[in-house]
Amino acid sequence: MVHWLPLAAFVPLVAGALTPALAHGRPGLARGWALAVTAFCIFATAALTRRVALEGPFSYAMGGWAAPWGIELRFDEFSAAALFICVIMLLVLCFSGPYVRRAVPAARITWYYSLLLVNLGGMIGFVVTADLFNLFVFMELVAVSGYALVAVGGGRTAALAAFKYLMAGAVSSALILFCIGVLYALTGSLNMADVALRLATVESRAPVLLALAGMTAGFLVKAGLFPVHVWLPDAHAIAPTPINAVSSALLVKLGIIGLLRIFPLFGAAGVVSLAPLYEALAWLGAISILAGAFFALFQQDIKLMLAYSTISNIGYIVLGLGLAGELAVTGASIHVLNHALIKAALFLAAGAMIHQSGYRTLHDLRGIGRVMPWTTLALLVGALSIVGLPPTAGFLGKWYIALGALEAGRPGFAVAVLGGALLIFIYFARMLNAFYFRAPSHEEMLAVREAPASMLGPVLLLAALCVLGGLFGRWPVLLIAPGVSRLVGGG
Amino acid sequence: MSQAFDLVMLALLIAMALAVARSKDLVAAAIIFSGYSLIMCLLWQHRGAPDVAMTEAAIGAGVTTILVLLAIGRTRRREK
Amino acid sequence: MRQALVAITVAIAAVPMLLAVAGLPRPGDAQAPVHTHVAARYVAEGARETGAENLVTGVLLNYRALDTFGEVMIIFTALAAVMAVLSSAAPRRPEDDAPGIASAIPISPVVAFIIRLTAPFIAVFGAFVILKGHVSPGGGFQGGVILGALLMLLSLVLGRGLERPLLPVPLARWLQAAGPLAFAAVGMLGLALTGALLGYPAGPDQQLLRELMVIVLELGIGIGGAAIILGLFLEMRGD
Amino acid sequence: MAGLWGNIDYAAFVVLFCIGLYIIIAKQNLIKKLLGLNIMETAVFAFIVTSGMVDGGTAPIVGAGATGPFASPLPHALILTGIVVAVSITALALSLIIEIYRQCGTIEADELKGAE
């Protein structure tokens, strides 16, 4: 059916708006409604991904108006990320059943599920749209629901963390909108393909340069790269666990996908060359890998540690994009998808532990391996894959990026890739040693029971996906190969 | 070169933005911001954009200012 | 000292923006790409194709309907966000609410009388702005905000606090979802008739149907906007 | 391409953008930061609306008797969406400020830094 593409973004948004009305008298209905809508989205995005794998990218003209006049939705290889977004959102919704009943005040639960559906619809819309201003609108939808979801838990500093996240996000959104305005003033159109075409004939250099630099900076702030990451650790650690998983695995990836959308815009522009930008991205990525891993070593709170390791992995992806080689960009795109699975598994497993035991720091969680064997096993698999050991999903992305660095004749970056992996390995070795081999530091630890089924299921499924992603890594690589060659060729 | 009207409006906007920056009393800052939105609305009306001018007046000067005053009512009025 | 340092860094950041802005085509010259490319077609055929003399409403509801759907969703998300942050099971302790402006001053009879006197006129003006949105300047959002402001005034005078607000809560939830609901209905109808989501039947004989769809959208946006603004006001007033 | 004097309007909006940015970074009060954010966003909206302007142009309403060059309707439609985005962010930020005051008792950024 050709209408899956607009419906994939349209249905969850309308469903999100109806959630409070439908679930007014019946609070239990909100979660069921959200699960049903997310299942529909998985079905729709799976059909779209199958079609792009067979036929290549295809477009949909909203309202029947052709491209530059109406809004065009375009599903290409990178939009296949929508399938990963829906799968992880379904598992997060399944996980948040028992968790939210205790962590979120009762009056807010209906609004929690409504915001999650709006977040899902905004993310799917963001990855499929081919119109610059529409990209901004969906980005704002994801951003506003993301800020509120960070503060929904209502902890002592949750509102402050959400406010810092809001300020960083709003400033970068204003900068991105300013650059969209510059591009509109230069070309008179908002459709990405049309803008790229008309930018080639623009002769004034300064506005194009500013638009490129401004949008890249804006999206890097949203991706939480090292120098502009200040809002990320608190926002990702203080929120309820399902929201940590959504924001660390998915929201930061939208910044990266935004970069992948704007680079082709300036590829054809004669007045500006992307080489210096790629060089800067490579250096920023390498610094972010080491800085993120380095800060992670000093964290006692396991959620803060996972947040800093997100910054390190975003550094891997940006380094991959910066090297701009075929291998490196393939590695970066693969890592966008695989890291989403790994980080979701790690955050949900860690969240389940905190939920059951009530402790958050490494010292207090000693010996949890004995009382929560399955959750800790999932955390072990997640740890192995985030370090990047061969059979797991994390290995693929980092291996391609390291090869890309060597192919580009930059052994220094390959060393940065391995160095980051080593730093993270040290931390995880200490963590797993504390969970399995150290005596519990609190007697209550022995009374802790395994997480309930609806929390344990998603955690184990995500851990299995991490391993499957590694074993069957060829399929995603083949799926996005044409997209990467188009990006690198045009870039 | 835009006419004198626009230049006066632009100068007034910059002056009001600086006034918002300097004023210690938050209610005064909110009122000055409401005026800033109205001047912006006049500027756009002059530039052939009545829809946007009406929206900016209704939402910028109206709703935003009311919500800011509500928030000031529930927190603190003076800036340290 | 710190503020002077920040001022200098912001000024340094302003220089590239000023250079870039200097390179743009002068605002106002009719040959700039802004007027010759996409907008030229909107101005030339907009009235005929969308059936709305006010081209901005034509662009909003017809050419770029998905943007306006996103906009309606964003104002709803703002309400959901405010409810998710502020509404809490814990009963509100009176002492944690500083003696502010809003709750301290009781409504004086003069204000109450004036609000009751002007309410019908504001309502008529709001309805006018919503319904005439496709002919004269105005439209769903502006009318919605005007009606929202009217509902705020009435809730000051007639409302009895958060427990029994002006609108009963189940009705309020459906009214607040009026915008997305209207877009879903018109979008699906457009999908059925023209084979493209949010499309409008373009035939000359379907002029009335197109006009009706625009009116339904405008009403949905207006009523949805007014209910959401009232919800924001009541939730943030909180007493 | 007109020089800076030709685009004096754009230059004024960039100055407003930077005043907003200055308020966000330098001022400590969270509500003052929020007003700075609003000033910044309104400056970006003014820039986009002004880019749609045409000399001697009237409002893009093509009713009977409307003549002369019309201002481009596209920027106006974009900024209607932008203004609603700005008010949504403001409403959420104000609620967060109210919640911060309820939890930490102050809305000054430097005092909050200690409270964490």
Q: What is the DSSP string of A15-81?
A: HHHHHHHHTSS-THHHHHHHHHHHHHHHHHHHHHHHHHHHH--EEEEGGG--TTTS-EEEE-GGGGH
Between the alpha carbon of residue A14 and those of residues A297, C95, C166, C188, C214, the distances in Å are: 43, 40, 26, 12, 19
Chain C contact present for B51, CB below 8 A: yes
**C14 located within any domain:** no
Give me the interface pTM, i.e. the ipTM: 0.94
Q: Determine the Cα–Cα distance for residues A386 and C162; give it in Å rounded to an integer.
A: 49
Hey, which chains touch C, using 3+ CB pairs under 8 Å? A, B, D
Residues in chain C within 8 Å Cβ distance of A209: 16, 20
Q: Which residue of chain C has the CA closest to B3?
A: C28
Mean confidence (pLDDT) of chain D: 88
φ and ψ at residue D57, rounded to 5 degrees: -90, 150
Between positions 116 and 175 of C, the ones with CB within 8 A of D are 135-137, 139, 141
Q: How high is the pLDDT of residue C98?
A: 45
Quote the number of domains for chain C. Answer: 1
- Judge whether residue A43 has pLDDT over 70: yes
**B80 located within any domain:** no
Contact present, B and A (at least 3 Cβ pairs less than 8 Å): no
Q: How high is the pLDDT of residue A490?
A: 63
- Judge whether residue D94 has pLDDT over 60: yes
Q: How high is the pLDDT of residue A201?
A: 86
Q: Determine the Cα–Cα distance for residues A212 and A267; give it in Å rounded to an integer.
A: 11
Taking only the tens place, the pLDDT of each residue in C19-44 is: 888 888 888 777 888 888 888 888 88
**C164 located within any domain:** yes
Of A343, A344, A365, A342, give the one whose Cα is nearest residue A353: A365
**B65 located within any domain:** yes
Please enumerate in sequence order all residues whose Cβ is within 8 A of that of A2, keeping only pairs 6 or more positions apart, or say none: A60
Residues in chain C within 8 Å Cβ distance of A149: 84
Q: What is the DSSP letter of A442?
A: S
Of A286, A223, A283, give the one whose Cα is nearest residue A419: A286
Distance in Å from the first CA to the final CA of chain C: 41
Mean per-residue pLDDT, A168-174: 95
**C92 located within any domain:** no
**B79 located within any domain:** no
**C17 located within any domain:** no
Mean per-residue pLDDT, B57-77: 90
Quote the number of domains for chain B. Answer: 1
DSSP, residue by residue, A138-179: HHHHHHHHHHHHHHTT--TTHHHHHHHHHHHHHHHHHHHHHH
In the block, tokens 């006197």 appear at C117
Taking only the tens place, the pLDDT of each residue in A298-333 is: 888 889 999 999 999 999 999 999 998 889 999 999
Q: How high is the pLDDT of residue A319?
A: 93
**C175 located within any domain:** yes
| Residue range of the domain that includes B39 | 4-74
Burial of A217 per CB tally in 10 Å (0-12, 13-18, 19+): middle
D8-115 CATH choice from 3.40.50.720, 1.20.140.10, 1.10.600.10, 1.10.287.3510: 1.10.287.3510
Q: How high is the pLDDT of residue D1?
A: 54
| Residue range of the domain that includes C173 | 31-87+105-237
Q: Which of B41, B63, B64 to mutate to test the interface with C (most CBs of C within 10 A)?
A: B63
Q: Determine the Cα–Cα distance for residues C28 and A258; give it in Å rounded to an integer.
A: 31
Mean confidence (pLDDT) of chain A: 90
Q: How high is the pLDDT of residue D115?
A: 62
Please tell me which of the candidates B51, B73, B74 has its beta carbon nearest to residue C139. B51
Which one has a higher pLDDT value, A25 or C215? C215
Q: How high is the pLDDT of residue C105?
A: 54
Lookup: tokens for A172: 């970068």
Q: Percent of chain A at pLDDT above 90?
A: 57
Between the alpha carbon of residue A347 and those of residues A225, A382, C174, C176, the distances in Å are: 19, 9, 36, 34
Taking only the tens place, the pLDDT of each residue in A271-297 is: 788 889 999 999 999 999 999 999 988
Return the domain boundaries, chain D: 8-115
Q: Which of C2, C49, C55 to mutate to test the interface with D (most CBs of D within 10 A)?
A: C55
Q: Determine the Cα–Cα distance for residues B2 and C9; give it in Å rounded to an integer.
A: 30
**C18 located within any domain:** no
- What b/e string do you get for C111-124 counting C-beta neighbours within 10 Å, with b at 16 or more? eeeebeeebeebee
Mean per-residue pLDDT, A220-236: 89
**C93 located within any domain:** no
| Subunit contact D71:B48, Cβ cutoff 8 A | yes
Contact present, C and D (at least 3 Cβ pairs less than 8 Å): yes
- Judge whether residue C103 has pLDDT over 60: no
Which one has a higher pLDDT value, C154 or A110? A110
Q: What is the DSSP letter of B19?
A: H
Taking only the tens place, the pLDDT of each residue in A122-159 is: 999 999 999 999 999 999 999 999 999 999 988 788 99
Q: Percent of chain A at pLDDT above 70?
A: 100
Across-strand partners of C54?
Answer: D61
Taking the CA of residue D101 and the nearest CA in chain B, the distance in Å comes to 6
**B24 located within any domain:** yes
Taking the CA of residue B63 and the nearest CA in chain C, the distance in Å comes to 8
